[in-house]
Chains A and B, each alone.
Chain A
C-alpha cells in the first residue's frame, strides 16, 4: 500500500522525515505526540567505589545524561484493512515496531521488538522509547502503585527532603507497573501510557514519557546477583517483544476519560483466554 499514514475515528498516525512516529488526535485538535527510540550507554565503573558502580541488574546508571539517537531514518510499510491499520517500522536491524489502530478502539498500540542488543563494542546498552507530547506537564507526572492508586511524581524532587540529584536520569526513574500519566492543567488534557508488563519510566521533559524497554549489560553491579545482565539465547542476546498503549484526551469530563482508561486497563490485564481445537480433515465442524 502506498499510503504513508494510518488512522481510525480517533487518531491519525504517520511517520515523519526523521523516522519519528507522529500521533494526532482527531477530536482533540490541540493534542499530538511524537514517538522515537533511543539508548543509553551503560556505566562501566569500579565497583570498589560506591559512587562509581557499574550499571547492572539492580541499578540503572547511564554513562551520560543524554541518550543516543539512531542516525538512519527508519524504513516502514503500511498495511490497511477493515478492522486494523498498521505501520511496520524498523529503526535499526535490532529495533522494530508495529504501530496499530483498531477500528472503533480509542487507543494506539505500539508493539515493539528490541534485540539482540549489539555489544561487540563492549558497551552495555539500555534502550528507551520516548513519547513526546505538546502537553505542559509542569515537571509532574503520575505512576501507578502496583496497579492501584496513581502517585504524583515531581522531577528532581522528593517530598520530605531537599534533593540534589547526582544521577539526574536514574534519580527520576520510577516503577511503572501498568500505567504512567501526564496532565496539562491549562489545556485540560491528559495523556496516559499503559504497559503490558512492569517497566521503568520517567518524564525528563515536560510533555514527555520515557519508558525503558530492554537492557543488556556486560558488568555485574556488585549488589548481590554476581552476574552481568547479559542473557543470551541461541548464541545471541535476548529479543524482547511488548506493547505500549497510548490513550488521552480532554479532562474537562474527567470521569469519562477515567472510565475509558480503567476499561482499557482491565481489558489488557485480564485478556481473553484462547483455546484451540484442530478440525481434523474429513470431519464436519461443530454446528451452531
Chain B
C-alpha cells in the first residue's frame, strides 16, 4: 500500500491541466518527470513482488532485487540486456490473449530465445538500431541492435523467456 501511494499521488498531480497539456513551466516539467519516475520505480517493486508470488516454486532466481525494468526502451537503451544473458518475464495486462512483438536492445550477434513454459526455441530476429537513434544526445548505450520476437501471452498472466547469446555465431559488426 505504501509503495502504491507514490503512484496514486503521481496520478493525482498529473491530472492538473498543465500536466495534461504540457503548458507547465520547464522546472515544473522536470518535477513532474521526477514524480512519475519515482512512482514507476515503486510500481516496479509491486509488480516484481506479484510475479515472484506467482512463481510458487519459490525459485530464488526472481528475488525482487534482481528484477528490473528499463525505462529507456523508448531510446532503445537497457543496461540489463545489452551485454548479458537474461530472463524476460512479460506480463499481459489485457483480459485477452495477445501475440505482441517484443523488442530488446542488444549487441550484434546471434541469440536464442527459449520459452520457459515448454522449452521451445522461438523464432527471433536481429534488427539494427538506426544511427539517428544511436546518436540521440545523451544516449549512453552499447546496444547496436534490437532483438525481436513475438511473445504469445495469456490473459492477465505472464510468460518467461531466456535469452542467450550464442557467441560462436557473432557476425562481424559493420
* Chain A contact residues, CB within 8 Å of chain B: 57-58, 79, 81-84, 86, 88, 90, 96, 98, 102, 104-105, 113, 116, 223-227, 231, 233-236, 239, 241, 263, 266-267, 270-279, 285-288
Majority SS at the chain A contact face: loop
Q: Which 5 A-B pairs have the closest CB atoms?
A: A96-B132, A234-B137, A81-B125, A288-B119, A279-B85
Say yes or no: B86 contacts A276, CB within 8 Å: yes
Give the docked Cα–Cα distance between A287 and B80 (Å). 20
* Chain B contact residues, CB within 8 Å of chain A: 18, 22-26, 29, 44, 47-48, 51, 59, 61-62, 66-70, 73-75, 78, 80-81, 84-94, 96, 98-102, 104, 114, 116-119, 123-128, 130, 132-133, 136-138, 148-151, 153, 160, 162, 164
Say yes or no: A233 contacts B160, CB within 8 Å: no
Q: List 8 A-B contacts (CB under 8 A).
A: A84-B127, A84-B148, A102-B150, A234-B137, A267-B94, A274-B89, A276-B67, A285-B87
Closest partner residue, chain B, to A228 (CB atom)? B26
Say yes or no: B59 contacts A275, CB within 8 Å: no
**Given A270-B94, A272-B93, A288-B118: A239 touches B88 (CB 8 Å cut-off):** no
Say yes or no: A277 contacts B61, CB within 8 Å: yes
Which of A239, A271, A277 counts the most chain B CB atoms within 10 A?
Answer: A277
Say yes or no: A275 contacts B67, CB within 8 Å: yes
Say yes or no: B100 contacts A277, CB within 8 Å: no
Say yes or no: B101 contacts A83, CB within 8 Å: yes
Give the docked Cα–Cα distance between A234 and B68 (Å). 26
B55 to chain A, nearest CB (A): 9
Closest partner residue, chain B, to A285 (CB atom)? B162
- Selected from A58, A88, A277, the residue in CB contact (under 8 A) with B23 is A58
| A residues in contact with B126, CB < 8 Å | 81
Say yes or no: B123 contacts A82, CB within 8 Å: yes
Say yes or no: B85 contacts A83, CB within 8 Å: no
| B residues in contact with A273, CB < 8 Å | 47, 69, 90-91, 93
Give the docked Cα–Cα distance between A225 and B150 (Å). 44
Not counting A239-B136, A272-B92, A285-B164, a sample of 17 additional A-B residue pairs whose C-beta atoms are within 8 angstroms of each other reads A79-B128, A83-B124, A90-B132, A96-B130, A102-B150, A239-B137, A241-B136, A266-B94, A266-B96, A274-B70, A274-B89, A275-B48, A276-B67, A277-B66, A277-B67, A278-B68, A288-B116
| B residues in contact with A266, CB < 8 Å | 94, 96
B13 to chain A, nearest CB (A): 17
Say yes or no: B117 contacts A288, CB within 8 Å: yes
Say yes or no: A241 contacts B74, CB within 8 Å: yes
- Selected from B26, B102, B117, B136, the residue in CB contact (under 8 A) with A272 is B102
- Selected from B24, B67, B86, B137, the residue in CB contact (under 8 A) with A279 is B86
Say yes or no: B25 contacts A226, CB within 8 Å: yes
Say yes or no: B90 contacts A102, CB within 8 Å: no
Say yes or no: B85 contacts A285, CB within 8 Å: yes
Give the docked Cα–Cα distance between A175 and B133 (Å). 28
Give the docked Cα–Cα distance between A57 and B101 (Å). 35
Give the docked Cα–Cα distance between A102 and B115 (Å). 20
B97 to chain A, nearest CB (A): 11
Closest partner residue, chain A, to B73 (CB atom)? A274
Give the docked Cα–Cα distance between A96 and B147 (Å). 21
| B residues in contact with A57, CB < 8 Å | 22-23
| A residues in contact with B85, CB < 8 Å | 278-279, 285
| B residues in contact with A113, CB < 8 Å | 130, 132-133, 136
- Selected from A227, A239, A241, A279, the residue in CB contact (under 8 A) with B87 is A279
Give the docked Cα–Cα distance between A36 and B87 (Å). 39
Say yes or no: B93 contacts A270, CB within 8 Å: yes
| B residues in contact with A241, CB < 8 Å | 74-75, 133, 136
Which of A83, A113, A275 counts the most chain B CB atoms within 10 A?
Answer: A275
| A residues in contact with B70, CB < 8 Å | 274, 276
